[in-house]
Structure 1
């Protein structure tokens, strides 16, 4: 992490002198009401995920933490990666200059590796904060020593730089684990760990029920309940006896394990009320593990119904989604949506460059029905195998508690760099710079461009890889179902997506009437092939741009060096066909040299995040969203990523237009954006709350505090205009 204090030693001394002089008047005031530092900033840890330490600070009201004053130092046998911290609130400090601060709470995650034989995760965490109202005082830097058990998987196989391979290996071994998480020890998403529902038991009697898996508990005194827009109606709770528990932060507290039922009496005149909204805020923990931040749910209660109402995970989800979640969609409907989504995926810009390869091969097959069928079958096999592997990987990582979604493999810079090089290699092949033969039949670019079954199969693989940045219509509901359904049903959905993607070529291969509509092959085919190489080059350029936003100029420099070395390798490979063993050995040396910058790319640290405050855009944080909603401000939340082609298309056609900015000014709505280009646990949690398989995700929150409205992944101006206008009423 880059410190704010990076100037010369003299500058640091002057800053500290200013801090002391500025703090002196405050020290003279009565500081009796100030909290101890560990109560003002309550630090909780979660080391249940192998290779990642999660930290959460609960910050008391009128206190704040400095982002730039957080430091992390590893103990014996532990190597820490770059800490992942969200953007803070930017302002100019009288003594420290431009700083970022956190209010209410903040989450951080730190990747780590441990040496062989290390079974304790030891590190020190230093932080500093201030009291921002009288008496105004800044605490000195405070250090907490952490000594936590290393998860078994982390001790056995240290995570890689990206964490993906190790996580996948651990997750695959746990696919059969209990859905409650009892077998894995990994903390469950809050919606699964704390299920809340309500039941009307009479005209003015209500029962709230929290249900927790084994090993989870709920704090009684950290729970608050209120009615929204109830017109004078109030609540009278009757808490049952709980379990006395010693908490390291709260002392002796009352908690509830497994399940607790809370009777409530509605006091006041209910005449004229058909429905009321109850908001519950509460906190709980996994015994011996993660303590969750404050959770807020809203229940929509029909006073005349005895049907239980299930709470929404805050920020609130649309009522239609709350009622049954993604599994409310039947398997048959999910498969139909997946088929349609895969079919439309053929028209998305991320898939078109690879389809150009397939189009050339189909046209070259001429009128031979047998050859056309072979192309179609092997291409479809490549697509289906890739979707099956992708589905298994995502489901396995989800089972292990990792936040993975559609397209999230592009959060890994090494994956982006490899794909950029692959696009370049395919483009060079289509341009005629190199002709791959059987000797390189096992390389990625060769497999995608060679003729025969292997070429067809790996063209299908490549189509799936580059399709993942796009989200087509119908795909969102199907993928949301797949991410929540049992493994077999989920895999069927992924396979049906593959059938939809491969369907056009299946029809061409097996319907002779369609095949006869294709033009006859001729000399023009070579020109077409060379022209279609340029979309491949543009795809490589786009991937380098994504990498620039993830890891900055250093990463771009490394991948450009790798691409030049790759081009040199392919050029010399073509020249060495008729030469001796020395020339062929030179090809191997150049190929190995190409790998070096790619290996270095995996170790480039993330660039410092820039707050999304340009053009009136507010960077997403749960705390900022909560404060805006509490102030009665309508909010348009946009979860996006630089590698998401659908997101960029929506921004170009709708969100980055004068009409959209005029709409925000007219309605007083705030445009809040979350960037998921890189791994971000906070945004992953928001996506999970809405059962979204990935980005884009658009949610409009009304100013009256009601539930948010989730929009389609493909936006139109009229859709956005209507949603924001209604939210501002």
Structure 2
């Protein structure tokens, strides 16, 4: 018995030593977490395998569901060995198509669990020792993770078949490519990266230049031109200083974006992407209202008064700040129309060293500022610009309508209820701005001016708190589906159908009085009632057709139809109380 126990102990110790030994872990399996951010991750493991009798190094990727690696482009997934075994080749799996909304096109990606294989030569012998390197850049549908590089020390005896277990891995035809030597590969990468970098730098400069003809910037060009013409009348040195300050404001905006992206990546561990902010209704609403106010400014609904201390020579410091601010504002105004360009640039620069990212954004700013710098450096060119007159006033106001179009396009992406609230609030805000700008001016007695403008601010703020918030549905509504309703009836399940429409004011009143009530929502949930929201906004909608043909109603809404589990049908028309609905449901 003692001998048997001794053998078990010796066997367990040897097994533990075998599994813990570096040789075992290198030959059979090594694993590292390559990328991680919140719930998103990518694990990579390396092992020695045999595929249809051919020895190979298996690099297995296991990523979270929403994560994908790029199979093409500058951020392609890379796997290589140093030094590479003689005659080896790397085989990638077949990619799948994925629509990348940031570049707005379909791109090939790898996702989920997949294998990259380093096939060794058929006549490989002796000990295979190499370093397996993996470099990757991965994104989800919402954000990107910082690029990462990991490496594994691999060692396995080619003559020991036990170290190369069989693996069932599909090798795509024509996918295996010989590895180039380390020096050759490095030289190719350096050459391609250098030419690619120059291409990106040139594109950044041209992209910045194109921002000046964006529809979002056109409305402020008359203001900029007036400012440059006024500055041209100043002393030459001061004119150049103010003009360069304006250009500095433009460049400063883009440098600020680059710095923000770098800080965001360092703090959060994920890549900031221009466009993420568009997922927040508050940001969209704020931008739309800001552009609306700027349109009102172009319509001369209000004016920005400049104190004499600023416009005089003694106010040169503030004049300089005003030039920087105007440049910053011009760059800011370009962003709603240049979002696609900025999204791509932001993602790409955050996969590069910090100095490259700063340089690209610096060139974006220089490109946008270049025309104004030329006009400042050669003021005679300003003489070729038509003199200010009525045409400029007409152009200025016409550009106000362009801003309104941009504001409407932005707001159109909001959900229906938020959009309705925003449009209503826009009327109150416009009234408050008109009250601020037209009811008083700089000649109005100070007390009266402050009182009226304070009232305008109060109107805008109170209206915002009252109108803009959107109450969330506490009833779990489903879209109208006649088949789902019929199935519920066959299963003796109660059904509540709320016929409504976007243009129906009484429907919204009914929602607030009845369906936002916690008692009503709790009872619907407790009894397992199928709550159906039947949209009859247009007469072609299925709910509109069934309202007349199935439920024999003329089409007036609001209308609520309750079908009990016994098949009984009760109809509530118009606006009713929550007690009326609860009584119908309880009975």
The TM-score, its normalising length taken from structure 1, stands at 0.39
Higher helix proportion (structure 1 or 2): 2
Larger radius of gyration: 2
